[in-house]
Amino acid sequence: MKINIPFKTPSVNHLYFVFRGRRRLTKEARKLKKEIYELVDFQKSFNRSEFLKKLLKVEILIIEDWYCKNGSVKKKDIANREKFLIDAVFEGLGIDDRFVFEETIKKVQSLHEERAIINIEVL
């Protein structure tokens, strides 16, 4: 199954705040999560039962410009984006993410687009 998120997703650092000792999603994060739910629901042309309670492999591609004008690599940590993406996509699909046993995340260079692609397969 392939899920396309056609916009840039921010890092976890920008999506949570601490209130009374607990981490809470910011208003922006709740809005993004809702948008991802709607995208996932729109792209739900799959048999959910094929993925329930099965070991899963997830590949995440983060597509955007990873370089500064001087050619050096921008200080962007892709691992900070993984948690929010996985949580939002799997909640939207109604699949428990504890069954993810293999995961890769890759930076893909692009000057013209910012998006994420999440591929989910049964192991």
Task: Compute the distance between CA of residue 12 and CA of residue 78 in angstroms, rounded to an integer.
Answer: 10
Quick: pLDDT tens for 27-75: 888 888 888 888 887 655 667 778 888 899 999 999 999 999 999 999 8
What number of CA atoms fall less than 13 Å from residue 43's CA on the CB side?
Answer: 19
Domains and CATH numbers, the chain: 2-122 (3.30.1330.70)
What pLDDT, on a 0 to 100 scale, did the predictor assign at position 111? 93
What pLDDT, on a 0 to 100 scale, did the predictor assign at position 109? 95
pLDDT over 80 at 107, yes or no: yes
Continuous segment of H or E residues that includes residue 83: helix 79-93
pLDDT over 80 at 104, yes or no: yes
Backbone dihedral angles phi then psi of residue 116, each to the nearest 5 degrees: -135, 145
Question: Which comes out higher in pLDDT, residue 43 or 76?
Answer: 76
